[in-house]
Chain A
Amino acid sequence: MRRFCPWLVGLLVVASASPLRAQDRLQDRINVVASFSILGDFVRNVGGERVGVTTLVGPNGDVHVYTPAPMDAKKVADAKLLVINGLGLEGWLPRLVQSAGSKATIVTATLGIAPIKIDAAPDPHAWQSVLNAKIYVANIRDALMAADPADAAVFRANAQSYLKELDGLDREVREAVAKIPDGRRKVISTHDAFGYLALAYGIEFIAPLGVSTESEASARDIAAIISQIKSLKIPAVFLENISDPRLIRRIAAETGTRIGGTLYSDSLTAENGDAPTYIDMVRHNIRTLSRALAN
Chain B
Amino acid sequence: MMIYDALIAPFSEFEFMRRALAAVIALALGGAPIGVFLMLRRMSLVGDAMAHAILPGAAIGFLLSGLNLFAMTTGGLIAGFTVAILAGAVARATGLKEDASLATFYLVSLALGVTIVSIKGTNIDLLHVLFGNILAMDDPTLLVIAVNATITLVALAVIFRPLVIESVDPMFLRTVSRAGAPAHLAFLALVVINLVNGFQALGTLLAVGLMILPAGIARFWSRDITGMICIAVASAVVSGYAGLVLSFQSRVPSGPAIILVAAALYVGSVLFGSVGGLFRQLFPGRHLEA
Contact = CB atoms under 8 A, between A and B. Distances in A.
Real binding pair:
yes
Interface of A: 210, 215-223, 226, 243-244, 246-247, 249-251, 253-254
A176 to B, nearest CB: 32
27 contacts: A210-B251, A216-B203, A216-B255, A216-B256, A217-B135, A218-B247, A218-B248, A218-B251, A218-B254, A219-B10, A219-B20, A219-B135, A219-B244, A219-B257, A221-B251, A222-B135, A223-B10, A226-B14, A244-B132, A244-B133, A246-B136, A247-B135, A250-B16, A250-B135, A250-B137, A253-B138, A254-B14
B62 to A, nearest CB: 15
A219 B141 contact: no
A218 B136 CA distance: 11
The range of chain B's interface size is 20 to 34
Given A244-B136, A254-B15, 11 more contacts: A216-B203, A216-B255, A217-B253, A218-B254, A219-B20, A220-B249, A220-B251, A249-B138, A250-B16, A250-B135, A253-B15
Given A216-B203, A216-B253, A246-B133, A222 B16 contact: yes
Nearest to B248: A219
Contacts of B14: 222-223, 226, 254
Contact of B136 (A215, A226, A249): A249
B94 interface: no
A210 B249 CA distance: 13
A219 B136 contact: no
Contacts of B135: 217, 219, 222, 247, 250
Nearest to A210: B251
Contact of A218 (B128, B137, B253): B253
B250 A218 contact: yes
Query: Dominant SS at the B interface?
Result: helix
Interface string B123-144: 0000010001101111001000
A219 B133 CA distance: 11
A222 B253 CA distance: 10
Contacts of B128: 243
B243 to A, nearest CB: 9
Nearest to A247: B136
A39 B10 CA distance: 48
Contacts of A251: 16
Contacts of B19: 250
B16 A226 contact: yes
B207 to A, nearest CB: 14
Nearest to A250: B136
A246 B247 CA distance: 19
A231 to B, nearest CB: 13
A251 B138 CA distance: 10
